[in-house]
Amino acid sequence: MSIIPLSFFSVLLLSFFISQTHAFSKPISKEEMGLKQQQNLTHLHFYFHDYVQGANQTALRIAQAPTTDKSPGAFGALVMIDDPLTEGPEHDSKIVGYAQGMYGFADQKQAGLLMVMNYVFVEGEYNGSTLSVLGRNQVMNKVREMAIVGGSGVFRFASGYAQAKTISMLDSSGASVVEYDVYVQH
């Protein structure tokens, strides 16, 4: 008589313990994650240097389709980048980060890129923090907008958008320079 309720309770206890340690999801408080005084809004401004050729090439075409060269939008080409981000538009301006990732030519009729990259910051309070960008970049347009889909470090829980404006196309250093204004909540 005394053994049955004991084993019953130990099974209950065990299943409680298991569900606690293997919980797939659980609600937590915003305070616990330091979210209460969060939702900072930050405007970042920098210049992106895409060296597609030359001695300091930072953008490499890693793949393309057999039909890419005949396509008006270079459809099917894929470029891997590790492009410097600087404070000013000059090539020797102070580096604040790098744009690491890829852009693919995703439009069959015109130059319309799929951008998939991380901004990896190396400066000041942002050193070591990243922002993740995913969006369409119709490069011949004056202003293009891409989504900031997340971040790490000081940019945890980030969301926002980036606006890109081309400053120069394929200059003597083999680079295109693009001005970025990024607005991010984090």
The answer to whether the beta carbons of residues 45 and 181 sit under 8 Å apart is yes
Q: State how far the Cα of 5 lies from the Cα of 122, in Å rounded to an integer.
A: 62
Where does the chain show beta strands of DSSP type E? 41-51, 59-63, 78-86, 95-105, 112-121, 130-138, 144-152, 159-168, 175-185
Task: Give the nearest distance from C-beta 127 to ligand NAG in angstroms.
Answer: 4
Could you tell me which residues come within 8 angstroms of residue 89 by beta carbon, excluding any fewer than 6 positions away? Answer: 47, 167, 168, 177, 179
The single residue among 15, 19, 38, 168 that binds ligand NAG, judged by CB under 6 A, is: 38
The answer to whether the beta carbons of residues 44 and 164 sit under 8 Å apart is no
Q: How many CB atoms are closer than 10 A to CB 67?
A: 11
- Binders of ligand NAG among residues 152 to 171 (CB under 6 A) are 154
Three-state DSSP state, 96: strand
The single residue among 53, 56, 67, 168 that binds ligand NAG, judged by CB under 6 A, is: 56
The single residue among 8, 128, 140, 165 that binds ligand NAG, judged by CB under 6 A, is: 128
72 binds ligand NAG (CB under 6 A): no
**DSSP code at position 94:** P
Looking at the Cβ atoms of 19 and 40, the one nearer to ligand NAG is 40
Looking at the Cβ atoms of 56 and 108, the one nearer to ligand NAG is 56
Looking at the Cβ atoms of 145 and 171, the one nearer to ligand NAG is 171
100 binds ligand NAG (CB under 6 A): no
Task: Give the nearest distance from C-beta 60 to ligand NAG in angstroms.
Answer: 16
Which range, of 51-59, 65-73, 106-114, 163-171, touches ligand NAG by CB under 6 A?
51-59
Where does residue 103 rank: exposed (0-12), middle (13-18), buried (19+ CB within 10 A)? Answer: buried
102 binds ligand NAG (CB under 6 A): no
Residues that bind ligand NAG (CB under 6 A): 38, 40, 54-56, 122-123, 127-128, 154, 173, 186
